[in-house]
Structure 1
Amino acid sequence: MAVEVRVEPSGKSFSVEEGQSVLEAGLKAGVTLKHSCRDGQCGECRTTIVSGQVAYADEVKDKLVETDLDGVTGLMCQARPSSDLVVDAPEVTELEGISIQKFPVRVLAKEVLSDDVVVLRLGPAPGIEFRCMPGQYIDLQMKDGNKRSYSVAATDDSGQIELHIRKMPGGVVSGFIYDELKAKAILTAEGPFGTFYIREGEAPIILTASGTGFAPIKAIIEQLVREDNSRPVVLYWGGRRKADLYYHQMCLDWGKELSWLTYVPVLSEEEGDWDGRTGFVHQAVVDDIPDMSGYEAYVCGAPIVVSSARTDFVEKCGLDLANFHSDAFL
């Protein structure tokens, strides 16, 4: 039997069928609740439950925190409502007008930037109007049915989509894209997904990226430029080696041209010609900003970077957990 979920403060509601998660049903109904991985791994979909109860399969209970078990919050990508539900999800109002669609795209250009990073530029089929919030991602499906999620690094007025893709060891999709995919190929895209986007406000902003986690950060910075941003922004971009910072010069130029942006590159493996910061990128942030109360933090990249940043920013530096936003590349 279906149950009803009401979302505050938007007042939107949707039905959840037996076996569906709250997030799955919401996305199907066009209601974008907070989410990232959609697989119970990242915790980004954790949402306050105002009233009602949810249940979880036994195999996901080790992913829950105390407030989930107490019914104060819920992991929406895994939660199955056992009664009518009311949740507090302000992002639904902020993402109104952004709809998830599935559509064909043509590879317009492919640019190899390093020995493991490639940039794709995709054009939606005629008649498709693709809109997303800077920071969101799409699922990209190959002709053989394999698909992976990639953050949108940029879109333009024509709807063209820019993706940054790292060739992963043993990666079926990323290996095919890097080694074999040709311009003019037709693929299938679905999205946008995710709630990794800049919240309106006046707080200073910390942007932290590892590797191709820079893609959504790039989209966010370009949005801030278009909006004549005046909020202080510091960008930390980490990689193992300098080649991992594949748009390093672009970031240096931003640091010179944008009065509100400071750029801090960090390498975890020292190189002979590198005179910048070394170590883990999230630790560089902690060292530089020991008091993060009053900040907003946006972190994207490897799961270990995201989880370490969440723990240290909140527990060591006093960041309000509600002001920590992330997208973990799984």
Structure 2
Amino acid sequence: MSTITVNPSGKVFESLEGETILDAALRSSIMLKHGCRDGRCGDCRTTLANPAPAGAISYPETLLLEASDRAGETVLCCQAVANQDLVLTAPEVTELEGISIQKLMSRVKSKEAISDDVMVLKLMFAPGSEFPYFPGQYIDITLPNKVSRSYSMASQTPQDNAVELHIRLKPDGEGTPYIFNELATRKMVTVEGPFGSFYLRKTKAPIIFIASGTGFAPIKAIMEQLIDLQGEANINARPVTLYWGGRSEQDLYMSDLCERWAKAFSWFKYIPVISDQKDNWSGRTGFVHRAVVEDYSALGSYEVYACGAPIVIESARRDLVNDCQLLPTNFYSDAFI
């Protein structure tokens, strides 16, 4: 057993033998930053207050680590096992205080196909249940066929005690074909969460959202939060621009909602982008993150929130930092892995 201290909050938790640092923190209701929870996205990488000596932290042998992880300067919390006491520098813990992981049953309230391959699924909790989360976070759902998948909540809070999920069909998968074709209303599924560190930071920086496909779901939840925070007439509101990309116009399955936001709120701008140009499409084309690069040469004062396929996230992070002077610490992402 090792003792982990989290600065600057001063919170302390114990990690059991063989338990990852992230699992131990979540078990102790301490929300360290994280994303995929399987070592690929890197969102859980956290600075150590003091460099850890060799042997202080163990990782799976096949895991590819950054140089800072190997040097003991940072720790990939979702994969790291602490072999001695450690001190983490994790200021986000204070922001996420009050959010803890729950596992509870939910019932399918409704299913609505809103395009050929996207469904809005609403899961209702039992009366009296509370499921607090930050807009932008995600849940794991376990289906009756025992398959588990992760999906972001698409509303700021549960509506009528139900969470909204946007699910794209993957015909060769085990999860989404079952959801589309077999999961009936009133069926029970297990929900666990909330997870993730994709949430609105409490600053006054202008915002750029980048979404690909159903990566729009958590951004919709954050937009609802911003609408409540800023209001229509707030002249000091944070400027917000949403770039939403898809292969075709159909992939932008709630484009009409975004257009209504743009008409209603002076601080919001919507730019749809499709990668497969069509004769009847007069809007932007190409990769969605490249539209941002074309529009902004200096993003030093901005925050960017990007959600979607891993290649979109990785490309956006690289190009916006290298080409547009975005601070790496101001890039927040949720990769659909």
TM class, shorter-chain normalised?
Answer: over 0.9
- Which residue matches 1:190? 192
SS of 2:217's partner is: helix
- Indicate if the aligned counterparts of 2:158 and 2:164 stay in contact, CA closer than 8 A: no
> What is the letter of the counterpart of residue 3 of structure 1?
S
Correspondence 1:62-101 to 2 at 5 A: 62=64, 64-101=65-102
- Indicate if the aligned counterparts of 2:248 and 2:275 stay in contact, CA closer than 8 A: yes
- Which residue matches 1:51? 50
SS of 2:165's partner is: strand
- Indicate if the aligned counterparts of 1:131 and 1:159 stay in contact, CA closer than 8 A: no
Q: How far did residue 267 of structure 1 move? A: 0.2
Q: How far did residue 290 of structure 1 move? A: 1.9
- Indicate if the aligned counterparts of 2:240 and 2:269 stay in contact, CA closer than 8 A: yes
Structure 1: 5+ residue stretches without partners: none
Q: How far did residue 126 of structure 1 move? A: 2.3
Match of 1:300 among 288, 299, 307: 307
Partners of 2:269 and 2:181 in 1: CA distance: 35
- Which residue matches 1:125? 126
- Which residue matches 1:149? 150
- Indicate if the aligned counterparts of 1:52 and 1:85 stay in contact, CA closer than 8 A: no
- Is 1:37 the counterpart of 2:36 in the alignment? yes
- Which residue matches 1:259? 266
Partners of 1:85 and 1:234 in 2: CA distance: 40
- Is 1:244 the counterpart of 2:247 in the alignment? no
Correspondence 1:150-299 to 2 at 5 A: 150-154=151-155, 155-156=157-158, 158-228=160-230, 230-299=237-306
Percent identity, please: 52
SS of 1:203's partner is: coil
Structure 2: 5+ residue stretches without partners: 232-236
SS of 2:230's partner is: coil
- Which residue matches 1:22? 21
> What is the letter of the counterpart of residue 15 of structure 1?
E
**Displaced runs of 4 or more, over 2 A:** 51-55, 155-159
Instruction: Give the structure-2-normalised TM-score.
Output: 0.94
Q: How far did residue 52 of structure 1 move? A: 5.3
Partners of 2:293 and 2:72 in 1: CA distance: 32
CA RMSD of the aligned region, Å? 1.2
- Indicate if the aligned counterparts of 2:127 and 2:161 stay in contact, CA closer than 8 A: no
- Which residue matches 1:4? 3
- Is 1:313 the counterpart of 2:323 in the alignment? no
- Indicate if the aligned counterparts of 1:14 and 1:25 stay in contact, CA closer than 8 A: yes
1:301–1:182: structure 2 CA closer, same or farther, 3 Å change rule? Answer: same
> What is the letter of the counterpart of residue 175 of structure 1?
P
